[in-house]
Amino acid sequence: MSDARTDDDRELTAEELAAIEEKYDEGAATRDVTPGFAKFLRYVSLTFAMYHYLTAGFALPPDFWHMGWHLSGLFILTYALFPLVKTPTAFDLKTGAMRLGGVPYLDVILMVLGVASALYLGLAWRGIPMLGIEEQTFRMGNPNTFDMFFGIVLIVLVLDIARRTLGWILPLIICIFMSYALFGPIFPGILQHPGVNFKTFVSSMYFPSEGIFGVTLWVVSTIVFHFVLFGVIAQRTGLGQLFIDNATILAGRYTGGPAKVSVVSSAFFGTISGSSVANTVSTGALTIPNMKRLGYPGHFAGGVEAAASAGGQITPPIMGAAAFIMAEFLELPYTTIVIAAIFPALLHYVGVFTVVHLMARRLGLKGLSSEALPQLGAVWRHGWANIVPLVGLLVVLFSGYTPYMSAFCGISLSIIAGMSRARQPVTLLYAAAFIAFVIWKYTGGGFDLIMSLILIGGAVLATFNPQDRISLKEMGDTFETGVKYALAVGAASAAVGIVIGVINTTGIGFRIGFMVTQAASNLGGDLHGLFAFGSWELFSVEDLTLFISLVFIALACILMGAGVPTTALYIMLVSVAQPALAQLGIPPIASHMFVLYYGVVAEITPPVCTSAYAAAAIANSNPFRTGISAFTLGLGKVVAPMAFVYAPVLLFVSSTGFDLWEFSYTATSCIAGVVALSAAVVGYWLAPMGVIYRILMAFAGLVFIAPSLQADLVALIIASPAIISQLIARRNRKAEAA
């Protein structure tokens, strides 16, 4: 295979990659403003970032103030950077009498109203006697004129910033929920309810504990933003490149090497990235051209990267933003969520890796030459210090400290690794400040001796980083980028709080749950006759009801997930689907994981699959075909939720308990199912496979996922003709070769 580069498989420039990310990541494209206004926005962004960074390490203010400050920053930056309507010229710089620094005065007015409505709650919490405003306790459920005005403004503007950053789909879904709350009597059947009084609705959406100032905004403002910022800083200081280099060393030499590098590097990168599109662009810039040069079709190369990158949302320890919200919903330690996610994530990557390997075998593709591989010694001599911040973050996180304290330590160590150098004494100020913080925490009982020594040792070690030092301006640019990345998820979290408020107020979750289980029960009863022969039955009515309910909910997740960020989708669906899954006896952590996984599947399911479209732009391939490839490559993520619902032991920490033998058997069965599905997708296992045998392998793969000896025996019987034909075909090929 020639290594000559063509226009189709060349590596893209940083500017071209940024343009692709802006096109397919709704929150990445921003409006051009005048230099003076840009400087103002930079100060706002840096203040926003430093506020969150410092409060994570020292102390959080009261919730209503903390979330108010977070919302204020979102309003200022969103209205400054995102136009009212996205047109081809909307992001271009425009000046005139009706604009301030390139921003229309309408947006400036909305910005001021947004900040006022976000901060009013804190200002009026203890009451404002001169304005006749009582303490917040006396206003709950009975809002005054000021409460109504600022409450209505906040609801409207939160929906608007979600629309500007993420498009129309999420706000429209939220408006449907709001309509349901306000106009309950007009809905039919079981969905009918008395309706919520408008004043009560505004009050419940505005005041803390539910609605906009609820758990979702608290988690994003207190935890998620910090991990987004850590991921951006860690990537800027070189951790992302370290991941790609090590993935190339691990997998590059084997059959279909560059594609396997894509899978491994995306798995690594997913540990620090909360964005599938960002993950796709960062790792795909290198891996997609390499795959195409090796001989993979463009749509398949893009599909591999999109499927692997979408897995970053379910890859421990960061898992995007949803895992932190899941921990709050379930009232479990975050580390429990991380442990539960280990095997399902592994199953996803086994599926992608298997398809990649079999496709390489089918196409006769080889690995990279030894000359093309990075040298392990050189990679680690140059980049070893970049792993220090990630290790520090994980040590603090898994030692039982709060996620935001672990993020604070991770960000601090990233700053030291990027900016402090032992050979430049002045730059040691950053390391000295963090060491002083650790000693202060130790003397106050915040850190124990072992943790203090680990963090101090990490700070000292990071100052010996052999890489070029990052300047203060460059680090400021990185902080600013991190803030921009967090705007969309912040807007989504505030807006989705309205959905949670509606669900808590109306009980629609239990109503829909009852409808799903009743429909599934009726359909299961009708289908039962097909699987029963006299007194013997292959599946009981209860088994069929559970399976049909899961399919209904999975389809709802995928359909609603078209264009909705994973975090927002998870929050909405778990609020609606959780009651249905609970009625079926599914453990809470399994039901939450189920919804999260199918929310992520939506990211690689055509027709709306932004990660695949970004990968297609890099691969210069057909976007829809790339989306189909990504979906088929992600089959492990499609079947994994079914597996851990039927066998919660796969999550390690389920309330049903953990049994090593049961886990080992069930995990092996699931992996066999994913391998069988992969062979069916590629049409190759030991030799090329005909259509009939591919269908048999696909059915066998699905049956393997069911965790029982009976199901595995049935799967083997179904797959046996295909397996026998493959063994014969391989023997014949060897005989011909001899």
CA atoms within 13 A of residue 733's CA, in its CB half-sphere: 9
Query: What span, in angstroms and rounded, lies between the C-alpha atoms of 104 and 115?
Result: 17
Q: Please write the tens of the pLDDT for every residue from 347-379.
A: 888 888 888 888 888 887 777 777 778 888 888
Residues of the chain with pLDDT under 50: 1-7
| Cβ-contact 489, 224 below 8 angstroms | yes
| Cβ-contact 615, 306 below 8 angstroms | yes
From the list 184, 223, 218, the residue with the least C-alpha distance to 200 is 184
User: What pTM value is reported for the model?
Assistant: 0.84
**Largest separation between any pair of C-alpha atoms in the chain:** 97
Residue 186 CB: number of other CB atoms within 10 A?
11
Residue 103, H or E segment: strand 103-104
Question: Which residue ranges make up each domain of the chain?
Answer: 14-206, 659-738
Burial 538-575 (b: 16+ CB within 10 A, else e): ebebebbbbbbbbebbbebbbebbbbbbbbbbbbbbbb
pLDDT at 206: 84
The tokens for 56 are: 């994570």
The tokens for 42 are: 């930079």
Query: Which segments of 584-708 does DSSP mark as H helices, in order?
Result: 588-601, 610-619, 623-633, 635-646, 660-682, 691-705
The tokens for 66 are: 């903390």
Cα angle 202, 207, 210; round to 5 = 90
Token look-up 């049956």 returns 703
* First-to-final CA distance of the chain: 25
